């Protein structure tokens, strides 16, 4: 397991980016649950964020690609609007415990 951050460092409706052994990822908390995805748009293969740790749209209810505005569901990573509609972000296994948020070791293999 790879430690990402303390639970308090990822508040409700917030996102954060991480680099784990050369793998760029993003984590989002929604309804108390953490979702982790590879930081790569399925349309162009580019990073998603507008600025560091800024992966969400203005309402903080969808992940948004800064390059072309594609919108992704936080819970599934499915693209619901934009040129990659029907595609999805690559979900990565994570775990949250009393110490914080962890990325599965198999995610970086």
pLDDT value of position 36 = 97
The number of folded domains in the chain is 1
CATH number at residue 36: 2.102.10.10
pLDDT value of position 39 = 96
Query: Which pTM was predicted?
Result: 0.93
Residue 78 is given by DSSP the state B
pLDDT > 90: percent of the chain: 77
pLDDT value of position 6 = 97
Query: The domain containing residue 42 runs over which residues?
Result: 2-108
Q: Mind listing the pLDDT tens digit for each residue in 65-74?
A: 998 889 999 9
> Residue 108 above 80 pLDDT?
no
Tell me how far apart the alpha carbons of residues 50 and 56 are, in angstroms, rounded to a whole number.
Answer: 9
- Cα 79 off chain centre by: 13
């Amino acid at each position: 397991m790879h430690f990402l951050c303390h639970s308090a460092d990822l508040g409700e409706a917030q996102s954060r980016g991480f680099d784990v052994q050369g793998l760029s990822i993003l984590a989002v908390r929604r309804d108390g649950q953490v979702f982790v995805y590879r930081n790569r748009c399925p349309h162009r293969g580019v990073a998603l964020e507008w600025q560091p740790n800024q992966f969400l749209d203005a309402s903080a209810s969808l992940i948004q690609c800064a390059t072309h505005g594609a919108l992704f569901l936080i819970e599934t990573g499915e693209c619901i609007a934009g040129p990659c509609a029907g595609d999805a972000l690559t979900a990565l296994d994570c775990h949250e415990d009393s110490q914080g948020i962890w990325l599965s070791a198999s995610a970086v293999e």
